[in-house]
Amino acid sequence: MSIQRYVQPVNTPVLTSLRAFRVRLGWSQAHAGERANISRQAYAAIESGRSVPSTEVALRLSEAMGVAVEELFRLRDARTPAREVEDAGLGGLPVGRVRLSRISGHERAFMLGPGTTHAPAPADGVGKRLPGNRMRVRLFPDRPPSPELVVAGCDPAFGLVAERMRRRHGIEILWLKAGSHAALDALARGAVHVAGVHLRDPSSGIYNEPWIRRIVPFPTARIRFAEWEQVLVLESGNPHRIDDLAQLASPKLRFLNRAPGTGSRTLIEAELARAGIPGSTIPGFHETVADGHETVGAAVASGAASAGVAIRAVADARGLSRIPLTREPYDLAIAEHFLELPAVQALLAVLRTPGLQREIESLGGYDASLMGLPA
């Protein structure tokens, strides 16, 4: 659950987000007051909205918490004008809800909407895309805390990591849907901190490292998330009695594919080539694109598709039939210049939590024994 900012009595002229930032830092009210050289009682009155701080106290609180004064306080009736920021360029509609995050000193706007995030995300405002990779954003008066970590990838299990980061460290993660190639492109452009990847290099047979070196122009750490099982997802009970990829060419079936550049699309194309089966013979292969593993599972479960490629955990969660295809590593690529960020250090610590590893393995098809270690 995201932290709500600016919650004060309706007659308070100044709204404050002090509590949200104090909780994120893990401070008590007494410690926050001490850092700003005021009493606990004075701090509590300001945080609750019963008292308006002087300019000096507001500046001291801003310095103590490491954020701008305007992030901590604003007038209740202040209007938020539209402003232009950099468009992170990670999908979404031309106009819609927007999340903002500052990465390497640059504020970037991420368009929210269908196919852009794994879970509903709070918004900072409404944006409109402009030429030149810009976006005009009109901010909401009551904005949530900014995400300290932006992660692009396709593993639905990462939601468990995001939840633990929020609960244990008060760190908000903006968790974006992206195939492996798109995630690495975003990392290379400086639009995200972390990219999830499961791509096999066709010439060497090695997973992930060759693609990271090929796409990302700076030193990158590769951290193991898990080894997972990729399967051919079929309708419950396998009513079409599919036991071979060649049977996908039946005109009675409809295959739901993933986008080019995703690990799942790369895998099924390689498997079909190995079996000598042209993708053009499979209904839907070149005409359909799903935005993630869970979308494939939902489509097959509803009967909108007969088959698709996804991780085993998705098939198991919906009681669908499946045919094993391969086991492969899903890694997290992190720019080395981000490794010392407190949010990245917290992420690495959370990944090494045995309880988290067991929880992810319970989803089915995961081996998380090396989670958090260099790959």
High-pLDDT (> 90) share of the chain, %: 76
Its pTM stands at 0.79
The three-class DSSP label of residue 231 is strand
Q: Which two tokens stand for residue 168?
A: 């244990």
CB atoms within 10 A of CB 33: 21
Q: What is the pLDDT of residue 36?
A: 93
CB atoms within 10 A of CB 80: 14
DSSP string, 13-82: SEEE-HHHHHHHHT--HHHHHHHTTS-HHHHHHHHHTSSPPPHHHHHHHHHHHTS-HHHHEEETT----E
Domain edges within the chain: 14-73, 82-139, 228-328
Q: Which two tokens stand for residue 146?
A: 């900014």
**39 Cβ contact partners less than 8 Å away, ≥ 6 residues apart:** 33
What whole-number distance in Å separates Cα of residue 355 and Cα of residue 350? 10
Q: Which CATH class is domain 228-328?
A: alpha beta
What whole-number distance in Å separates Cα of residue 15 and Cα of residue 6? 5
Give pLDDT < 70 ranges for the chain: 1-13, 76-81
Q: What is the pLDDT of residue 12?
A: 57
Which CATH superfamily does the domain covering 14-73 fall into? Answer: lambda repressor-like DNA-binding domains (1.10.260.40)
pLDDT digits (tens, 9 = 90+) for 13-68: 677 888 878 877 788 999 999 999 999 999 999 988 888 888 899 999 999 988 88
Q: What is the pLDDT of residue 9?
A: 44
Task: Give 341's DSSP letter.
Answer: S
Q: What is the pLDDT of residue 80?
A: 62
CB atoms within 10 A of CB 298: 17
- Note whether 103 and 109 are within 8 A (CB): no
With CA atoms as reference, report the closest residue to 324 among 255, 261, 271, 286.
271
